[in-house]
Amino acid sequence: MDIFQAAMTEILAGNLNVFDELFDGWKNTRPEEFSKWETIRTTNLMTKATWFFNEVKGLEWVRLDDNPFCKTLDGKVIEMGASCRGSHFVGKNEEVVSEPAKVLKPSWNVATPPLYGDCECMIAPIKD
Ligand SMILES: [Zn+2]
């Protein structure tokens, strides 16, 4: 039984405060997590856009954290493509398999880092 099934069971049993602990935790952690995520994402997207308009041919994923999924992507090179938004390192619902074997399937096209919650990776330009 996953966390949501367990929560629904509690709610149907009349325990309407089942999410209080979860939401209280989010109040303490979500602002920092969200700001870190957006900082990494926005920095990499702006970098990618700048390089696109300066005719950089490709991008390389540069791992700066110990996330096992990022280790899988470290050094991956993609072509910039005809559009800044068209190229991505991982496609929507594409599997990224880490060592030890775990699978991540992002629900969006991963055009730049971050890939995962603690991701601090960056991109590097490929000129030729
Ligand atoms: Zn990363």
pLDDT by residue for the chain (128 residues), tens digit each?
A: 676 787 788 888 888 787 787 778 778 888 888 899 999 999 999 999 999 999 999 999 999 999 999 999 999 999 998 877 789 999 999 999 999 899 999 999 999 999 988 899 999 999 87
Give strand pairing partners of 2. none
The pLDDT score that the predictor gives to residue 49 is 94
Q: What share of the chain is helix, strand, coil (3-state, %, to 5)?
A: 40, 15, 45
Asked if 123 and 61 count as a contact pair (C-beta separation under 8 A), the reply is yes
Q: How far is the CA of 113 from the centre of ligand 1 (A)?
A: 6
**CA of 65 relative to ligand 1 center, distance in Å:** 5
- Say what the pTM is: 0.79
Domain, as residue range, for 27: 3-126
Number of domains in the chain: 1
